[in-house]
Chain A
C-alpha cells in the first residue's frame, strides 16, 4: 500500500533553519503533484506550497506567509519530497504534513505529520 512518511521536525530557535523530508513508497511518485500543509496548535489546516511533477513542468507555488523563506524540492530518484525552511518564526510552529494532490489509484494519501517547534 502507498505510504508517505515525514521526518526532520524538531525544536529550532527563531531565525533558524530546518529541512523536512517526505519519503513516498508504493506509488508513482514521479507523476504525483505534492503538497505541504501545516497546522498550528489548535488551528486549522494551512496550505504551504505545491510542486508539480516534472512531466507537468515542475512548477512550484508558495503561500504568501512563507514565500521567500521556504523552498520545496523533490528527488524523484529517491521518491522524496523536501521542505527547506529558513528564517523561521514562532508562528511557523505546528505539525507539517505532506500529501498527494488529489488521488492515487483512487485514494488520498497523507503522511502522519512532523512537529516543528520554533521557540527560544
Chain B
C-alpha cells in the first residue's frame, strides 16, 4: 500500500525556520496537503495543492514540492506552533493517505 514518510520529530528555536519533509513516490503527480493538530483539538488545514495557503493561515507557513518530497516550512517559528503536523496525499488508486506525523518542538 502507498505510504508517506515523515520524520517523527523536529526541533526548532523560537524565531528560526523549521522544515518538515514528507516523502512519497506519487507526489510528483498528486497534490500534497499539510495539517496542524494541537493537543486535544481537531486538525487544521495549513497548505493545500502543494503550496496554497487557506485564508486565515499565517504567512509564515508555506509549502513546496520537489520530485518525491513535499516540504512544510515554518519561517520564524513561534511557541504556539508546537503541534503535530501531518502531510496528506492520494495514491494512484484514489485512496487517501496520511503521513505518520511529525511532532514539532519549539525550544
Q: Is the CB of B55 within 8 A of A35?
A: no
Q: When the two chains form the complex, which single residue of B1, B42, B55, B100 contacts A106, counting CB atoms closer than 8 Å?
A: B55
The answer, among A63, A102, A108, for a CB contact under 8 Å with B95, is A63
Asked if residues B100 and A44 are in contact (CB atoms below 8 Å), the reply is yes
Which chain A positions have C-beta within 8 A of B24? none
Contact with B along A3-29 (1 / 0, CB 8 A): 000000000000000000000000000
| Least distance between A44 CB and chain B CB atoms (Å) | 4
- Contact-size category for B: 20 to 34
Interface residue stretch chosen among B44-52, B58-66, B67-75: B44-52
Query: Shortest Cβ distance from B93 into chain A, in angstroms?
Result: 8
Q: A50's closest neighbor in chain B, by CB? A: B96
Contact between A61 and B95, CB atoms less than 8 A apart = yes
B79 at the interface (CB under 8 A from A): no
**Are B101 and A103 touching (Cβ within 8 A)?**
no
Whether B101 pairs with A106 at a CB distance below 8 angstroms is no
User: Taking the nearest CB of chain B, how far is it from the CB of A51, in angstroms?
Assistant: 12
A97 part of interface (Cβ distance < 8 Å): yes
Q: B48–A103 contact, CB under 8 A?
A: yes
A110: chain B residues within 8 A (beta carbon): 42-45
B97 to chain A: closest residue by CB? A47
Note all chain B residues with C-beta closer than 8 A to A47: 88, 95-98
Bound-state Cα–Cα, A88 to B101, Å = 26
Contacts of A35 in B (CB 8 A): 96
Q: Let me know if A94 is at the binding interface, CB within 8 A.
A: no
**Residues A106 and B98 in contact, CB atoms below 8 Å apart:** no
Asked if A102 and B42 sit within 8 Å, CB to CB, the answer is no
Are B94 and A61 in contact, CB atoms less than 8 angstroms apart?
A: yes
In the complex, A107 has a CB within 8 A of chain B:
yes
Can you sample 7 A-B contacts with CB below 8 Å?
A: A44-B84, A44-B86, A61-B95, A64-B1, A103-B48, A108-B45, A108-B48
User: Top 6 nearest A-B pairs by Cβ distance?
Assistant: A108-B45, A47-B96, A44-B101, A106-B55, A110-B42, A45-B98
